[in-house]
């Protein structure tokens, strides 16, 4: 360790702050200087918890490792790391280093002794299914700090989840991680860190930098200050070209060169496809496009009884149940509205919040659905895949589940080809379409209002520490949400078909 290390109390920079600077200097300036800070939402907290769990598992798979605690202070962590690096007799978890006021904590640092001398291997653990481009910058910062502390580094890798892993026996996670060796990728980047740290400190010492909003506001992470930055910019176009589906961003960039930013201002010879032309007309006139005859024709073969089906699923980085994979989506709930030819509706539902593998219970309930008639979903590929995976996992219901999968049809393209309201803003999600047709069925009155909420509710409800009263609230919220999804499909169809 350098003499400067013994004098610092808490370095002002870290790899996460350098990463924030690389995304947008204004973001880092706000992180350091902003008086008002955004609350960490439940989804982000869940992501943090998953990351900690993955990190703990990665450490558990390295024998004889020793943890460097950050408490009572980072000074102690720096001193303890220096001792362990000098001994070089075991792997170190959260090894702590500082250089030029930049502090890093390395997930796993493994020594290797040979005739050529002592070298170290860096492993930065990530809960993602692969090494991402932004991981390279983080790893380069770690390498730069550690190498400048006099530690010889032989390799630097991202240790990430292998999504092909299948849990074959309870608790046996051998093989769940894969290493992406990136030393050759980070060396050149690390060489730029001296100059970058000087630039960062100069920026932080000055006034808030001016950085226009753009793609970087959401990549690689959603910036917590994007609302602040947007409030300081002139109002943008009312109906921006970027809202056109699929290729909107590319078209917006192309037409910006001609100072054209509004969809309605696109010229007649812009070469728009049929969907984009329809959206342009709706935006320009304010009129709704609806081809009810096209809807009826597209769905004429959808036999009764019609089964309007929606799943809620959960996927964990570390699969908890035998036969499941990292981030594999496991259904824990479904709602089905059964519609007869005379219009009569009945609702069937199933929800498993036991915390045990829910596939058996969900498969059994699905097997009780009618053995004939169209199964209708919104973006049906997801429901079809869920049914097929359940058929593999619960073979005693295989035939019934595969029958449901084979009969599944998709309402989304029917809506996309035959309806558009400009308030959809280029989106054909059910939550974009529904308010334009049936605002009284909007999700705003629900405790669980989207798929992310449903996953958070599942995690909370299956926590052993969840009270019976709270679990009952979450159960009611989940049931209401999933039921709303399938009822929404029924009513959207009826509106579109002119019923």
The distance from CA 148 to its chain's CA centroid, rounded to whole angstroms, is: 35
**Shared-domain flag, residues 371 and 262:** no
Judge whether 233 lies within some domain: no
Paired strand residues for 122: 109, 156
**Shared-domain flag, residues 185 and 321:** no
Judge whether 237 lies within some domain: no
**Shared-domain flag, residues 197 and 292:** no
Judge whether 327 lies within some domain: yes
The whole-angstrom separation of Cα 363 and Cα 295 is 31
**Shared-domain flag, residues 332 and 464:** yes
In a structure prediction context, what are the per-residue pLDDT tens digits for the chain, which is 499 residues long? Answer: 444 444 444 348 999 999 999 999 999 999 999 866 666 677 777 788 889 999 999 999 999 999 999 777 889 999 999 999 999 999 999 999 999 999 999 999 999 998 889 999 999 999 999 999 999 999 999 999 999 999 999 999 999 999 999 999 999 999 999 999 999 999 999 999 999 999 999 999 999 999 988 889 999 988 999 889 988 888 889 999 999 999 998 999 999 999 999 999 999 999 999 999 999 999 999 999 999 999 999 999 999 999 999 999 999 999 999 999 999 999 999 999 999 999 999 999 999 999 999 999 999 999 999 999 999 999 999 999 999 999 999 999 999 999 999 999 999 999 999 999 999 999 999 999 999 999 999 898 999 999 999 999 999 999 999 999 999 999 999 999 999 999 999 999 999 999 6
How far is CA 217 from each of CA 189, 261, 394, rounded to the nearest angstrom?
Answer: 22, 19, 44
CATH number for 24: 3.90.320
Task: Tell me which of 170, 188, 205 is where a domain ends.
Answer: 205
Task: Tell me which of 263, 287, 311 is where a domain ends.
Answer: 287
Judge whether 212 lies within some domain: no
Q: Please state the pTM of the whole predicted model.
A: 0.90
Judge whether 139 lies within some domain: yes
Judge whether 217 lies within some domain: no
How far is CA 409 from each of CA 119, 336, 384, rounded to the nearest angstrom?
Answer: 58, 14, 9
447-454: long-range contacts, CB 8 A cutoff, minimum separation 24:
447/473, 447/476, 447/477, 447/480, 447/481, 448/474, 448/477, 448/478, 448/480, 448/481, 449/481, 450/481, 451/312, 452/43, 453/477, 453/481, 454/312, 454/333, 454/478, 454/481, 454/482
**Shared-domain flag, residues 273 and 313:** no
**Shared-domain flag, residues 277 and 355:** no
Number of domains in the chain: 3
pLDDT at 9: 41
Question: How many other β-carbons are positioned within 10 Å of the β-carbon of residue 381?
Answer: 11
**Shared-domain flag, residues 277 and 333:** no
Full domain range(s) for residue 133: 3-205
**Shared-domain flag, residues 296 and 431:** yes
pLDDT at 68: 96
Q: What angle do CA 113, 178, 357 make, to 5 degrees?
A: 135
- Per-residue 3-state assignment (H helix, E strand, C coil) for the chain: CCHHHHHCCCCCEEHHHHHHHHHCHHHHHHHHHCCCCCCCCHHHHHHHHHHHHHHHHHHHCCCCCEECCCCCCHHHHHHHHHHHHHHCCCCEEEEEEEECCEEEEEEEEEEEEECCEEEEEEEEECCCCCCCHHHHHHHHHHHHHHHCCCCCEEEEEEEEECCCCCCCCCCCCCCCEEEEECHHHHHHHHCCHHHHHHHHHHHHHCCCCCCCCCHHHCCCCCCCCHHHHHHCCCCCCCCEHHHCCCCHHHHHHHHHCCCCCEHHHCCCCCCCCHHHHHHHHHHHHCCCEECHHHHHHHCCCCCCCEEEEEEEEECCCCCCCCCCCCCCCEEEEEEEEEECCCCCEEEEEEECCCCCCCHHHHHHHHHCCCCCCCEEECCCHHHHHHHHHHHHHCHHHHHHHHHHHHCEEECHHHHHHHEECHHHCCCCCHHHHHHHHCHHHCHHHCCCCCHHHHHHHHHHHCCCCCCHHHHHHHHHHHHHHHHHHHHHHHHHHHHHCCC
Residues 6+ positions from 256 with CB-CB distance below 8 Å = none
pLDDT at 203: 95
CATH number for 303: 3.30.420.10
**Shared-domain flag, residues 274 and 319:** no
Residues 6+ positions from 339 with CB-CB distance below 8 Å = 304, 305, 306, 307, 308, 345, 490
Handedness of CA 148, 150, 156, 159 (dihedral sign): negative
On the question of a cis peptide bond just before residue 220, with omega within 30 degrees of 0, the verdict is: yes
**Shared-domain flag, residues 27 and 111:** yes
Judge whether 213 lies within some domain: no
Task: Tell me which of 205, 238, 268 is where a domain ends.
Answer: 205
The whole-angstrom separation of Cα 145 and Cα 151 is 9
Residues 6+ positions from 31 with CB-CB distance below 8 Å = 17, 20
pLDDT at 152: 96
Judge whether 35 lies within some domain: yes
**Shared-domain flag, residues 197 and 279:** no
**Shared-domain flag, residues 29 and 167:** yes
């Amino acid at each position: 360790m350098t003499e400067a290390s013994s004098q610092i109390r808490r370095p002002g920079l870290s790899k996460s702050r350098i990463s924030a600077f690389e995304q947008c200097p204004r973001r880092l300036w706000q992180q350091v200087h902003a008086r008002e800070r955004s609350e960490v939402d439940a989804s982000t907290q869940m992501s943090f918890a998953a990351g900690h769990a993955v990190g703990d598992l990665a450490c558990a798979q390295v024998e004889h490792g020793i943890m460097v605690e950050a408490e009572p202070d980072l000074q102690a962590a720096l001193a303890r790391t220096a001792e362990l690096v000098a001994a070089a007799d075991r792997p170190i978890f959260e090894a702590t280093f500082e250089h030029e006021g930049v502090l890093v904590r390395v997930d796993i640092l493994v020594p290797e002794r040979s005739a050529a001398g002592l070298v170290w291997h860096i492993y930065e653990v990530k809960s993602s299914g692969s090494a991402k481009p932004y991981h390279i910058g983080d790893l380069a910062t770690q390498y730069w700090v550690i190498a400048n502390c006099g530690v010889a580094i032989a390799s630097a890798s991202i240790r990430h989840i292998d999504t092909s892993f299948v849990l074959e026996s309870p608790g046996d996670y051998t093989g769940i991680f894969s290493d992406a060796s990136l030393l050759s990728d980070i060396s050149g980047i690390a060489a730029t860190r001296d100059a970058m740290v000087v630039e960062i400190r100069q920026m932080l010492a000055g006034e808030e930098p001016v950085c226009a909003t753009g793609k970087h506001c959401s990549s690689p992470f959603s910036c917590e200050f994007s609302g602040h930055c947007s409030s300081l910019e002139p109002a943008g176009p009312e109906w921006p070209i970027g809202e056109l589906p699929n290729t909107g961003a590319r078209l917006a960039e192309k037409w910006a060169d001609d100072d054209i930013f509004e969809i309605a201002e696109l010229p007649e010879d812009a070469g728009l496809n049929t969907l984009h032309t329809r959206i342009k007309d709706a935006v320009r006139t304010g009129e709704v496009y609806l081809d009810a005859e096209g809807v009826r024709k597209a769905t004429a073969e959808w036999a009764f009884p019609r089964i309007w089906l929606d799943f809620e699923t959960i996927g964990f980085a570390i699969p908890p149940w035998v036969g499941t994979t990292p981030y594999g989506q496991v259904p824990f709930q479904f709602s089905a509205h059964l519609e007869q030819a005379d219009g009569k509706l009945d609702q069937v539902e199933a929800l498993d919040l036991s915390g045990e593998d829910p596939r058996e219970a969900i498969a059994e309930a699905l097997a009780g659905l009618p053995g004939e008639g169209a199964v209708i979903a919104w973006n049906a590929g997801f429901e079809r895949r869920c049914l097929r995976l359940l058929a593999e996992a619960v073979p005693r219901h295989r035939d019934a589940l595969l029958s449901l999968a084979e009969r599944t049809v998709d309402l989304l393209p029917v809506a996309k080809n035959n309806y558009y309201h400009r308030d959809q803003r280029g989106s054909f999600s059910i939550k974009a379409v529904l308010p334009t047709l049936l605002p009284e069925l909007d999700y705003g009155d629900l405790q669980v209002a989207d798929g992310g909420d449903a996953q958070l509710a599942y995690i909370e409800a299956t926590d052993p520490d969840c009270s019976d009263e709270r679990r009952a609230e979450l159960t009611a919220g989940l049931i209401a949400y999933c039921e709303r999804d399938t009822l929404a499909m029924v009513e959207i169809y009826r509106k579109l078909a002119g019923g």
